[in-house]
Chains A and B, each alone.
Chain A
Amino acid sequence: MKTKFYYGISLFIGCLWLTAVTAQEKSEKYTVSEAGEAYPLVLVYDRENDPAYFFRDIFTPVCLDSVCKPVRIKLFWDLLGNYLRYEVPADEPLTKLDHEEFTPEDHAQLQAILSNENSLLKDFKLEDLVDARTQHLSDSVDAVTGATKNTVKSEVIEGALYTCYTLWHLVHGPVMNEIQKISQTKLDNQMLHRFLRSANFHYVYFALDEVMDEGGVIREGFFPDVLIVLASDNVFAARHVWQRINLRYFAERKEQEELWRIFVHSPYTQQVVFLKRMKQLALDPRVVRLVTDYLPNLNNALFKQTLAVLASQDSLPEASQEQLIVYLTSTDKDKAEAVYEAMNGHAQLSENFNKQLGIYSKP
């Protein structure tokens, strides 16, 4: 197989493929049978000799009534069977009904269609699409809902309905399961470490499920990886971790400091999520100091939520209490009131704090 025959739809991915081939990366060929037919599925390794992705060469007829035309295409999946991209040979381009070649826009659209695992194509039968097409599918659906028009339009490329339909079902068909089965046989700790540090969120969630049990207890040796997820850009994965992780991992000062460092660098919405559960931690006095030092950086909403974390502590170091006392006489009345509301009645406050709370008069 020579690279130059392939029309990469994405330059970046194209390069990857190039390096893969030129560096003669290792690959393994599997034979998969689907609906009585056997075909080869290839697992490609990267330069570190770790499993990287799968591909399959396809040569399939796409038929409309009795007219069929062959389509040659190479489809790629990640190690969990999620579709990545496709390539077609330059001398056998994809065409539409009128034999027109795919334009770059058509390629972009095909990539979008194939990437959409929830495509409407999933539930449609080919006949439905044929019928619908002759009745101007998008118009008649639009009579029912303004929504569907756009959706259906983006599910198919005009003049290449059968190609879209056939390829979508190949991409999202039984092959996914086969890929997962093969990957499962390769699964080891190294792969899990790699997954947790990956930019592919499918890998992250998959590995989290593997290394963290229902009680949020983490498999030996994986805590640092989980912390990386907690600190990652993907706020959804970070939230997922924080809502599940067993808080015993944050019983000691060192981890609490790390947690606070992550908190400080997290986006606002994630900070809100952090504070909700932080109330359950018994913070080390030195960490409490970090928290009270940070108070001036918070807006009113976060300030209040952070005070709730402080108020939930059995005791607060003297220095932190002094920092809080200052707010009681601040010109910022909202902050003063928030400190009063949160701390008044706390069992373990200094004499001075109690005195100042007594003096404080609500606006």
Chain B
Amino acid sequence: MMNDFLKIYPLSLIFFFCLLRLGAQEQVLVETESFHQKGGWVIDQQSFPVLHSSYLMAHGMGRPVADARATVKFPKKGTYKVWLRTKDWAPYPVGPGKFKLYVDGKALAPTFGESGDSAWKWYSGGEINVEKDSVELVLQDLTGFNGRIDAILFSNGSDAEPPNELVALDKLRNELLGLRAGLKEMGDFDLVVVGGGVAGTCAAISAARLGLKVALIQDRPLLGGNNSSEVRVHLMGDLDKSYYPKLGRIVRELDNGDPGNGNPNAKEYGDARKFAIVKAEKNLSLFVNTHVYQAETENNIVKAVVGRDIETNQEKRFTGKYFADCTGDGTLGFLAGADFRMGRESKQETGETLAADKADDFTLGTSNLWASLPVDSVTTFPETPWALTFSDEYHIDEEQSDWQWETGFGNFNTITEAEQIRDHNLRAVYGNWSYLKNHKRDKYDKRDLAWVAYIGGKRESRRLLGDHILTQMDIQEGKIYPDATVTATWTIDLHFPDKKNSLYFPDEEFFAGTKHIRVAPYTIPYRCLYSRNINNLFMAGRDISTTHVAFGSTRVMRTCGMMGEVVGMAAFLAKEHQTTPRGVYEKHLPEFMGMIKD
């Protein structure tokens, strides 16, 4: 859509358009993620596909976070109307995410974040009088309970509410921030890897070590995805059962030992180790904080991707010969028009005994892990009427979370409702913790929340379809195809809402159960690792070409990492032979397998 916009309005026209508007009205737009001092506020980009922007959030686990500050230049002095784009994230009936905005030391009259309305909207902040060239803005969090704000707009000359509808809002952002006008070319690469989880990181390292010029684009400040200290999931899947001992070497380098899930010590997850290994690769350029939201394609070939810095909003364009979708969500494939599947297939469709009776949009859920730690003295935690309600009859008597804290299951869409899922997880965590602190004081008086993830750990989103779609039969019959690559060992591990949790929170489950179907080590064909209809697109990680059932086993991170290693090798060969990912399979398979086996 941005693309169309560019086509219709060449740059000069945008400029003209801006001037025209400025003649009638001055507008200053401040994206809060660009506040130069964040204080204790954090940047959240997880809803970019829905909001087309990142936002700032006060994630203080119930303690107000330090102020965020920005200095904003004004083109003209005078009276401005102030608008804040925000929401009440837990309007049951009124949420806790309250905050104030100070302009040059003076608080605007309204308190924001407590409107009782969960939609993102513009709220009036009244009027200010600008007497200098610039003003100082301060965001003051009042509760530490996830108040959030997307943007602040100052306008003079009109009282009209700013547009809230996406197309108009995009246009406004583009004009006022000069997004497209400031777009930077980041270079031309042999392989552009989008998504820096374990799969993407391994793919980028693997290709770079083979001499390809590689870009690795990650939309968080850290590498590792679910294995980073922002999510804290430990690596599973065995490396030592591999048919090809060569695979897994990069995964081993990244592996920081096993701290379990949700360990309160962030250092256990080896963020620094991952960075160091990536930085050491001379052919690899790492771009963190960059969310890819657009793909330029021609004749089913991706030519370039465009990302936006989640903090500065700098637009960046990357051109490349080959691309790898390691976003987990299958976002690049989706943007490029790749065939994909989301949800469960039916038994009839796949012939899998573990498939659903009817196809549906059920997916495994998303987790926001958390942990508490003992403290020296008695501490308190407020009552949380806006959160899920617990009682003696039902609460979760745990000092730390594990994988079972999970929301989704077809109640919510993991991509378009990522924000709601995260918020539901927070309402479960805070509601339960509040119950424990206030009603189980013997056990919890001297414990405090040490960490609650605000980045959701996603399990299942889109699965991009390749020339082969891995099935339960492939796994259980241990089929070895000629292009057998990665060896996988994890059980078929398909979660469902915990029965008791369903009873107490019907359609609002946040706790999971599973049944592990054991498997013998089996292999994943290379054909699951490239798109069947986008000719230069690879994929690795949880978004590869499998059925929902098979995904239940392929999705663990050591296995995902090995997929990345294979994609790096395939990209190398594809470039060598001037061919496509499919060409590697069709014309150079012996050479490719030789590389994997050697």
Residues of B within 8 A of A108 (CB): 443
Asked if B91 and A300 sit within 8 Å, CB to CB, the answer is: yes
Asked if A302 and B93 sit within 8 Å, CB to CB, the answer is: yes
Residues of A within 8 A of B518 (CB): 144
From residue A144, how far is it (CB to closest CB) to chain B in Å? 6
Asked if A267 and B236 sit within 8 Å, CB to CB, the answer is: no
A301's nearest neighbour on chain B, judged by CB, is B91
Question: In chain A between 92 and 130, which residues have their CB closer than 8 angstroms to a CB of chain B?
Answer: 108, 112
- Bound complex: CA A10 to CA B442 (Å): 9
Asked if A298 and B391 sit within 8 Å, CB to CB, the answer is: no
Asked if B402 and A150 sit within 8 Å, CB to CB, the answer is: yes
Asked if A299 and B91 sit within 8 Å, CB to CB, the answer is: yes
Residues of B within 8 A of A201 (CB): 391-393
Question: How many residue pairs at the A-B interface have CB separations less than 8 Å?
Answer: 62
- Bound complex: CA A56 to CA B386 (Å): 43
Q: Which of A38-46, A62-70, A230-238 contacts B (4 or more CB under 8 A)?
A: A230-238
B238's nearest neighbour on chain A, judged by CB, is A143
- Bound complex: CA A235 to CA B389 (Å): 7
**Contact indicator per residue, chain B 427-457, by CB within 8 Å of chain A (1) or not (0):** 0000000000000001100000000000000
Interface centre among A112, A146, A234, A301 (most CB of B within 10 A): A146
B386's nearest neighbour on chain A, judged by CB, is A268
Residues of A within 8 A of B117 (CB): 299-300, 334
B314 at the interface (CB under 8 A from A): no
Given A199-B392, A299-B117, A147 and B402 touching (CB < 8 A)? yes
Question: In chain A between 255 and 307, which residues have their CB closer than 8 angstroms to a CB of chain B?
Answer: 267-270, 297-302
Asked if B402 and A144 sit within 8 Å, CB to CB, the answer is: no
Given A300-B91, A300-B117, A268 and B516 touching (CB < 8 A)? no
From residue A26, how far is it (CB to closest CB) to chain B in Å? 28
Residues of B within 8 A of A147 (CB): 402-404, 514
Asked if A269 and B261 sit within 8 Å, CB to CB, the answer is: no
Interface centre among B397, B402, B404, B504 (most CB of A within 10 A): B402
Residues of B within 8 A of A235 (CB): 389, 391
Asked if A299 and B391 sit within 8 Å, CB to CB, the answer is: no
Residues of A within 8 A of B393 (CB): 201, 234, 236-237
A145 at the interface (CB under 8 A from B): yes
- Bound complex: CA A146 to CA B457 (Å): 15
Asked if A299 and B93 sit within 8 Å, CB to CB, the answer is: yes
Residues of B within 8 A of A298 (CB): 93
A149 at the interface (CB under 8 A from B): yes
B46 at the interface (CB under 8 A from A): no
Residues of B within 8 A of A234 (CB): 391-393
Residues of B within 8 A of A144 (CB): 491, 516, 518
Asked if B236 and A299 sit within 8 Å, CB to CB, the answer is: no
B270 at the interface (CB under 8 A from A): no
- Bound complex: CA A362 to CA B265 (Å): 54
Given A10-B442, A146-B234, A236 and B491 touching (CB < 8 A)? no
Given A112-B397, A144-B516, A236 and B93 touching (CB < 8 A)? no
- Bound complex: CA A199 to CA B392 (Å): 9
Q: Which of A10, A149, A269, A299 contacts B260 (CB 8 A)?
A: A149
Question: In chain A between 199 and 233, which residues have their CB closer than 8 angstroms to a CB of chain B?
Answer: 199, 201, 233
Question: In chain B between 361 and 400, which residues have their CB closer than 8 angstroms to a CB of chain A?
Answer: 385-386, 388-389, 391-394, 397
Residues of A within 8 A of B442 (CB): 10
- Bound complex: CA A42 to CA B116 (Å): 54
Question: In chain B between 470 and 528, which residues have their CB closer than 8 angstroms to a CB of chain A?
Answer: 491, 493, 504, 514, 516, 518
Asked if B385 and A267 sit within 8 Å, CB to CB, the answer is: yes
B92 at the interface (CB under 8 A from A): yes
Asked if B94 and A299 sit within 8 Å, CB to CB, the answer is: yes
Question: In chain B between 77 and 97, which residues have their CB closer than 8 angstroms to a CB of chain A?
Answer: 91-94
From residue A197, how far is it (CB to closest CB) to chain B in Å? 15
Asked if A146 and B94 sit within 8 Å, CB to CB, the answer is: no
From residue A91, how far is it (CB to closest CB) to chain B in Å? 25
Given A150-B402, A300-B91, A145 and B491 touching (CB < 8 A)? yes
Given A299-B91, A299-B93, A145 and B493 touching (CB < 8 A)? yes
From residue B522, how far is it (CB to closest CB) to chain A in Å? 16
- Bound complex: CA A277 to CA B236 (Å): 47
**Contact indicator per residue, chain A 129-147, by CB within 8 Å of chain B (1) or not (0):** 0000000000000001111
A11's nearest neighbour on chain B, judged by CB, is B442
- Bound complex: CA A357 to CA B116 (Å): 26
Residues of A within 8 A of B504 (CB): 236
Q: Which of B116, B391, B493 contacts A300 (CB 8 A)?
A: B116
Asked if A146 and B392 sit within 8 Å, CB to CB, the answer is: no
Q: Which of B91, B388, B516 contacts A145 (CB 8 A)?
A: B516
Residues of B within 8 A of A236 (CB): 391, 393-394, 504
From residue A18, how far is it (CB to closest CB) to chain B in Å? 18
From residue B580, how far is it (CB to closest CB) to chain A in Å? 38
Interface centre among B386, B391, B403, B491 (most CB of A within 10 A): B391
- Bound complex: CA A108 to CA B445 (Å): 14
Question: In chain B between 518 and 560, which residues have their CB closer than 8 angstroms to a CB of chain A?
Answer: 518
Q: Which of B92, B116, B402 contacts A269 (CB 8 A)?
A: B92
Asked if B391 and A146 sit within 8 Å, CB to CB, the answer is: no
Asked if B92 and A146 sit within 8 Å, CB to CB, the answer is: no
Residues of A within 8 A of B397 (CB): 112
- Bound complex: CA A298 to CA B93 (Å): 7
**Contact indicator per residue, chain A 234-245, by CB within 8 Å of chain B (1) or not (0):** 111100000000
Q: Which of A10, A199, A233, A269 contacts B388 (CB 8 A)?
A: A269
Residues of A within 8 A of B236 (CB): 146
Residues of B within 8 A of A270 (CB): 389
Residues of A within 8 A of B91 (CB): 299-301
- Bound complex: CA A150 to CA B234 (Å): 14
Given A146-B402, A236-B394, A268 and B92 touching (CB < 8 A)? yes
A108's nearest neighbour on chain B, judged by CB, is B443
Residues of A within 8 A of B93 (CB): 268, 297-299, 302
- Bound complex: CA A234 to CA B394 (Å): 9
Question: In chain B between 109 and 137, which residues have their CB closer than 8 angstroms to a CB of chain A?
Answer: 116-117
- Bound complex: CA A145 to CA B491 (Å): 9
Interface centre among A10, A268, A270, A302 (most CB of B within 10 A): A268
From residue A149, how far is it (CB to closest CB) to chain B in Å? 7
From residue A209, how far is it (CB to closest CB) to chain B in Å? 15
B513's nearest neighbour on chain A, judged by CB, is A147
From residue B552, how far is it (CB to closest CB) to chain A in Å? 12
Apart from the given pairs A10-B442, A299-B92, 4 other A-B contacts in the complex at a CB distance below 8 Å: A145-B516, A146-B236, A234-B393, A237-B393
19 contacts between A and B (CB under 8 A): A145-B493, A145-B516, A146-B260, A146-B403, A147-B403, A150-B260, A150-B402, A201-B392, A234-B392, A236-B394, A236-B504, A237-B393, A267-B389, A268-B385, A268-B386, A269-B388, A299-B92, A299-B116, A300-B116
